[in-house]
Copies of this chain bind each other. A is one copy, B any other.
């Protein structure tokens, strides 16, 4: 359920949507517009403003694509191991693979600073819809509206940042019906405190991913630092070691990435026919490539494990999505909802939305014709970290020469901290892996776009994919962070004079990439305008019963701890710590079901009966990984790390019968940390006993 690669891939599709049909426990609610009526009606619970603010300020966004929460006054943070994976991976070396060994800082001086991890904590939300729309006039073309909104957004963000020093992002909600300004406190000094070995965190590996029952200690602890000292935080979640019972009301506060629950049928068909198939081709081909490379030896495997995990996860997500998109029941329900909405719009011409669906279909056709090409030119980055660096150098040079309001969003002043953290990251890059991946990318690009496409010919430079990949990797110096710093901020003309192969390639590809992106951006803007009109129809018809689609911003979900009933197919709500060893024995103790050595050694000490993982009906989606699960008192009683296979269609529609979110139980965390890892000091800090 990790988000980063998913985000990268789905970024093509406009983030649009909400509930197909509003059902129990559905929704990813805004903290400034929580589902008070539903909570009161279904669970007799009314969160106070203080409760909401406490949750909001305790929740942490991991900018690599996940969630977490503060767990002590000294800035201790818990997230999933698989959310922390990227940071742990980047701290590992051939000699010390922390993913294999695990990590435990026994004192604060042993805590290890992460290479490029950024955390955000939401401080405030402000509705800026009127300001964003102030410059928009009815006679503008979509391109002009896009430019006007971009200028307004950039100004709002810059003004806020200059006034508060806080990261300030304008968030598009309800498909453009609302724009909210989110202000975040940013932490860039984040240190690794504790991580079990991956085999304990991800026991059962890819086969068990999105399955239940599970036995995963999918946790990692980090600590936020400020000025070289542990951050002092006012808001953190108190841990309640009593945990939950089946039936208890629980909450998630986290950062669901993107959903597409309000898309029209035209967009659904696009997802089914173009977007998901294209993403699956891209992922499966890379999965085969990297697994083949990994099998050549253990150091190979170590170098690419981060990417393999991400792809395996996303591939399962997309396999689940296409399954949903080809399910006639889901499609029929979507169609019925759209028919009803369109009829409502036609019956009320004063809403001015009856042609909105056709406008979306029209824009979608243009997107469909350029989407795959745009993926290769604009979002896949030659599947290369070195190319990504070179592209960022080239494009920041070009964009930096423009006024702030006219730049592409990721190059605005307000995004500078985030941008530079990534650009100057000292994360390990392996030239042999780069060569392999670029060769593969070039081959796939030629197969998908056609060998005679001018962009493909420019990319290949008159060579075979293998020869070109070797030439590109040998001819660049951007592997060195110092070299990146030397090139950063130079005008494009100066970059054009360097003989760096990757910089030259990025310059040569720039016209092709910009052209496809421009097409996609403009059509997405046209869709957004039509969606904003549909949102009004929906509001007129159904009122405020629907939460906005996910936007990787803070949301609140709720539900109950609940097992699964089903003829001959019951699944209990909880698993126990002892279950891991039992399953390992059943599966012959063979990878990915081998019992971690530390767990085998703890056999006499570990209380096998303590609850380990549990399932609940809370709505969650990629990006929610690491979200704290809380009880009515806002106390931490678990951490979400996965959803069952049935949740994968939640991207398009909510279904309830067997779909469940999966969490690690607070009781299992405490017992394992003490009995397996001897992390008593940390547990004491987590329980406020220090």
A residues whose Cβ falls under 8 Å from a Cβ of B: 205-207, 269, 272-273, 276-277, 280-281, 284-285, 287-288, 291-292, 295-298, 315, 319, 322-323, 326-329, 442-443, 446-448, 450-451, 460, 462-466, 587-588, 590, 592-593
Contact = CB atoms under 8 A, between A and B. Distances in A.
Contact of A280 (B447, B450, B460): B447
B587 A297 contact: yes
B295 A450 contact: no
Contacts of A465: 323, 326
B447 A322 contact: yes
A466 B464 CA distance: 41
Q: How many copies does the complex hold?
A: 2
Contacts of A446: 272, 322, 326
A177 to B, nearest CB: 31
30 contacts: A205-B295, A206-B295, A207-B295, A269-B451, A272-B447, A273-B447, A273-B450, A277-B448, A280-B285, A280-B447, A281-B281, A284-B284, A284-B285, A284-B287, A284-B288, A288-B288, A291-B291, A295-B592, A296-B587, A297-B587, A319-B443, A322-B443, A322-B446, A322-B447, A323-B466, A326-B446, A326-B464, A326-B465, A327-B464, A328-B463
B588 A297 contact: yes
B288 A315 contact: yes
Given A322-B446, A329-B464, 5 more contacts: A205-B295, A206-B292, A287-B288, A297-B587, A326-B446
A466 B206 CA distance: 20
A326 to B, nearest CB: 6
Lowest 7 CB-CB distances: which A-B pairs, in order? A277-B447, A327-B464, A207-B296, A207-B295, A284-B288, A284-B284, A284-B285
Contacts of A463: 328
A463 B332 CA distance: 12
A328 B464 contact: yes
A466 B658 CA distance: 16
Contacts of A323: 443, 464-466
A594 to B, nearest CB: 12
Contacts of A272: 446-447, 451
A187 to B, nearest CB: 37
Contacts of A451: 269, 272-273, 326
A409 to B, nearest CB: 32
A206 B293 CA distance: 10
Nearest to A288: B284
A442 B588 CA distance: 33
A46 to B, nearest CB: 40
A431 to B, nearest CB: 17
Contacts of A273: 447, 450-451
A446 B296 CA distance: 35
A587 B295 CA distance: 10
B588 A298 contact: yes
Contacts of A284: 284-285, 287-288
Nearest to A586: B297
A298 B587 CA distance: 7
A262 to B, nearest CB: 21
A398 B292 CA distance: 44
Contacts of A326: 442-443, 446, 451, 460, 464-465
A315 B587 CA distance: 29
Contacts of A292: 206-207
A292 B443 CA distance: 25
Nearest to A273: B450
A81 to B, nearest CB: 19
A283 B297 CA distance: 24
Contacts of A443: 319, 322-323, 326
A466 B645 CA distance: 13
Contacts of A315: 288
A361 to B, nearest CB: 15
Q: Which of A288, A297, A465, A588 has the most CB of B within 10 A?
A: A288
A292 to B, nearest CB: 6
Contacts of A466: 323
A538 to B, nearest CB: 26
Nearest to A466: B323
Q: Which of A315, A326, A592 has the most CB of B within 10 A?
A: A326
Contacts of A319: 443
A561 to B, nearest CB: 27
A22 B17 CA distance: 62
A439 B319 CA distance: 11
Contacts of A296: 207, 587
A110 to B, nearest CB: 29
